[in-house]
Chain A
Amino acid sequence: QVQLVQSGAEVKKPGASVKVSCKASGYTFTRYYIHWVRQAPGQGLEWMGMINPSGGSTRYPQKLQGRLTMTMNTSTTTVYMDLSSLNSEDAAVYYCAREWSRGYSDGYHDGLDVWGHGTMVTVSS
């Protein structure tokens, strides 16, 4: 079945970096974009960016530019989210999610239909 399996929980010190992986299976990896979404304790969902596994192009929100890097490995069907210069506001559960589309070239972006289980990132000195 289609699934996204994320790496395990991380504990990092302020100023450090964290790299979370998301392994896709059960579908053609290069066909659908992968997004990252996070939820800090008691807060709502925050969109962190996306990567197109067909070519590797990325889009990030302005507030994370310079600290966030998304990469992928097509041979292992894995995407990675690397966030540097961590601070307390980065403590959250991080999710990867597949963007379903009936056809990107026709302008369809049909929501995030498959999600990873989430990876908790704790930032503490």
Chain B
Amino acid sequence: DIQLTQSPSFLSASVGDRVTITCRASQGNTKNLAWYQKKPGKAPELVIYAASTLQRGVPSRFSGSGSGTEFTLTISSLQPEDFATYYCQHLDSYPCTFGQGTKLEIK
């Protein structure tokens, strides 16, 4: 099974900051890597798929990169609505595990 490890687990930042979250896979050649935003009481929302493709309707301040075993999600200029928990997930094989999450909090 592919395990995903996110870092950091918690991130404190201010509006306007640039932040980066990392997701490391336990096995290489991961290509179907997705990122989600999760807010309390709401369903997750797809932000990035195929490691670097922005989901339709998601603001361009979000970007994804990486290949193999290391992937990143970057938010170029944090907005108040971006404070949430972010999860990576791989869909290359079963089980389609999630990372443990990164909680992005307002400083």
Contact = CB atoms under 8 A, between A and B. Distances in A.
Interface of A: 35, 37, 39, 44-47, 49-50, 59, 61-62, 95, 97, 99-100, 107-113, 115-118
B80 interface: no
B37 to A, nearest CB: 11
Interface of B: 31-32, 34, 36, 38, 43-46, 48-50, 53, 55, 85, 87, 89, 91-92, 94-101
Given A37-B44, A116-B43, A118-B43, A109 B55 contact: no
A12 B38 CA distance: 26
Report whether over half of chain B's contact residues are helix, strand or loop; otherwise say mixed.
loop
19 contacts: A39-B38, A44-B85, A45-B36, A45-B89, A46-B98, A47-B89, A47-B95, A47-B97, A47-B98, A50-B94, A97-B44, A107-B32, A109-B96, A110-B53, A110-B91, A111-B34, A113-B46, A115-B43, A115-B44
A50 B38 CA distance: 20
B94 A45 contact: no
B49 A35 contact: no
Given A95-B43, A99-B91, A117-B43, A112 B97 contact: no
- 6 nearest A-B pairs in the assembled complex, by CB-CB distance: A111-B34, A109-B91, A111-B49, A115-B43, A109-B32, A61-B95
A44 B32 contact: no
Contacts of A50: 94, 96
A100 B57 CA distance: 15
Given A110-B34, A110-B49, A47 B96 contact: yes
Contacts of A100: 46, 49
A118 B87 CA distance: 17
Contacts of A62: 95
